[in-house]
Amino acid sequence: MLSIIISSVASIISGMVLFLLQHYIKQRHSEDNKTKEENNKKDILILKSLNALGKLAVSNSNVLKNAEQEGDAKTALNDYTKVSNEMMDFLIENSSKEK
């Protein structure tokens, strides 16, 4: 009789430990997915920023070389401003989540 009670209590305790462990693993997995999504978005914004800076540099060199391509410079500057604003919004959003 005592052995049945002890084995039942041991089964209940091991079941609770396994349940809590599974809950912890699921929670950790969801946090990892959020982190991966944020890192992917950050990487995309960095690539966009580099692309916009490249366009801006090329258009600036073209304007310096031929003083007539002002349209390209305006487009490149608009692209840079747009990406810069996206990056700033992303950084502000992430910094507010961390607090």
pLDDT (tens digit, 9 = 90+) per residue, 17-65? 888 888 888 888 887 777 888 888 888 888 888 888 887 787 777 777 7
> Model pTM?
0.52
The residues near 48 (Cβ < 8 Å, ≥ 6 apart) are: 83, 86
Q: What percent of the chain has pLDDT over 90?
A: 0
The predicted structure's pLDDT at residue 70? 62
Look-up of token digits 């809950």: 23
The residues near 56 (Cβ < 8 Å, ≥ 6 apart) are: 73, 76, 77, 79, 80
Confidence of residue 6 (pLDDT cuts 50, 70, 90): confident
The predicted structure's pLDDT at residue 91? 79
Look-up of token digits 């070389």: 65
Angle at 82 between CA 36 and CA 69, to 5 degrees: 135
The predicted structure's pLDDT at residue 63? 72
Q: What is the DSSP letter of 69?
A: -
State the DSSP H helix or E strand holding residue 76, giving kind and residue range, or none if neither: helix 70-98
